[in-house]
Amino acid sequence: MVSAAVKPRIAITVGDPAGIGPEIAIKAAADSAVLDACEPILYGPYTSAELEPFPPGALSAGAGRAAYDAIVAAVRDAQAGTIDAIATAPVNKEAFALAGLPWKGHTDLLAHLTGAPNVAMMFHADELRVVLATIHVPLKDVARLLTPALLESVIDLTARELPRFGFSTPRLAVTGLNPHAGEHGVIGNEEETSLRPAIEACRARGIDVTGPWPADTVFVRASQGAYDAVIACYHDQGLIPVKLVAFGRAVNVTLGLPIVRTSVDHGSAFDIAGRGLAAHGSLVAAVLLAARLARANRSGASSIEPVSATRVQSREP
């Protein structure tokens, strides 16, 4: 059993080697805040020689496979207990597809590798936490996929996982899918047929969840402290507000895994790869959160302390 006083060992996977991942991984691993908090270990190609087959900004099957191999190795070591957590630099979904990989990104791949039956993507920042009910799916498919069963599972998972982040009795809000949350069926009926039944079922089980609220105001209320997390119906609905208030500081966390995994709040940025322009702040934030969670796991603590503890009385947006 490793002592909680020993710095946690955090795997940093470099992501797509043709993107900015190797650059920000090297910078993050050398950052003084990271070195104070943990022992960072790089996974994947990052030296000049290792990166030679992957020209910056060039989409390729080989780069997709290299990113995949690094993730697989890190997960294997996390499951074996030789590392304490994983922080991932961004992969490229097109490169995954070129490599013949069926996964759309980290979240579904990590669920597959760990056998986790129910996972969700949460973006964590001091000001705002957002969980996505659907992730990398076409917008035209969201209404069909957003069933009461799916939303119930996401609400249940969020309520179960948020105590690890310092919210012992989390207050959750669910966005509407349609403008004005459908105006009781006037602008779409998904709120009445799918969202409200799931919310009511979860409330009946004792979960503090409300909604569906209009998405154009509920994120403001959450950023002011009215809710501990917002569950958004689809990818951009949730990520636009969190990136607006905390881009470069927000951390992507996979809820529901048996291991700790965090990640950046941005993509592989092929347009600036190899130019020395990439900011590594989000990866530093991801590593630091991973280290905090790993230390809590080691010490047997039930949660980490939330950095921001602003609380206001909940009310309708």
Q: Which of 202, 222, 247 is the last residue of a domain?
A: 247
Q: Which of 247, 273, 292 is the last residue of a domain?
A: 247
Per-residue model confidence (pLDDT) at position 248: 85
Q: Which of 247, 272, 302 is the last residue of a domain?
A: 247
Per-residue model confidence (pLDDT) at position 306: 63
Within a domain: 277: yes
Which pair of tokens denotes residue 294? 């790993």
Same domain? 241 vs 278:
no
Residue 72: alpha-carbon gap to chain centroid: 18
Same domain? 14 vs 108:
yes
Please enumerate in sequence order all residues whose Cβ is within 8 A of that of 22, keeping only pairs 6 or more positions apart, or say none.
14, 15, 44, 45, 46, 51, 89
Per-residue model confidence (pLDDT) at position 316: 38
Residue 132: alpha-carbon gap to chain centroid: 9
Same domain? 177 vs 284:
no
Q: Is the peptide bond before 148 cis (omega within 30 degrees of 0)?
A: no
Per-residue model confidence (pLDDT) at position 6: 86
- The verdict on pTM exceeding 0.85 is yes
Within a domain: 223: yes
Per-residue model confidence (pLDDT) at position 310: 39
- Give the span between the Cα atoms of 206 and 27, in whole angstroms: 45
Per-residue model confidence (pLDDT) at position 5: 66
Within a domain: 46: yes
Looking up tokens 């022992």 gives 39
| Domain of residue 270, residue span | 1-116+257-317
Maximal CA-CA distance, the chain? 60
Within a domain: 123: yes
Which pair of tokens denotes residue 228? 């501990």
Within a domain: 235: yes
Same domain? 25 vs 71:
yes
- Give the span between the Cα atoms of 136 and 134, in whole angstroms: 7
Within a domain: 252: no
Same domain? 232 vs 262:
no
pLDDT tens per residue across all 317 residues of the chain: 345 568 999 999 999 999 999 999 999 999 999 999 999 999 999 999 999 999 999 999 999 999 999 999 999 999 999 999 999 999 999 999 999 999 988 999 999 999 999 999 999 999 999 999 999 899 999 999 999 999 999 999 999 999 999 999 999 999 999 999 888 888 999 999 999 999 999 999 999 999 999 999 999 999 999 999 999 999 999 999 999 999 988 999 999 999 999 999 899 999 999 999 999 999 999 999 999 999 988 777 666 766 543 333 333 33
Same domain? 124 vs 243:
yes
Q: What's the structural domain count of the chain?
A: 2
Same domain? 155 vs 53:
no
Same domain? 149 vs 219:
yes
Within a domain: 262: yes
CATH number of the domain at 300, please: 3.40.718.10
213 DSSP β-pair partners: 175
Same domain? 196 vs 143:
yes
Per-residue model confidence (pLDDT) at position 307: 53
Antiparallel, parallel or unpaired: β 251-255 and 120-124: antiparallel
Same domain? 237 vs 288:
no
Residue 59: name the closest of 266, 271, 264 by CA: 271
Same domain? 197 vs 144:
yes
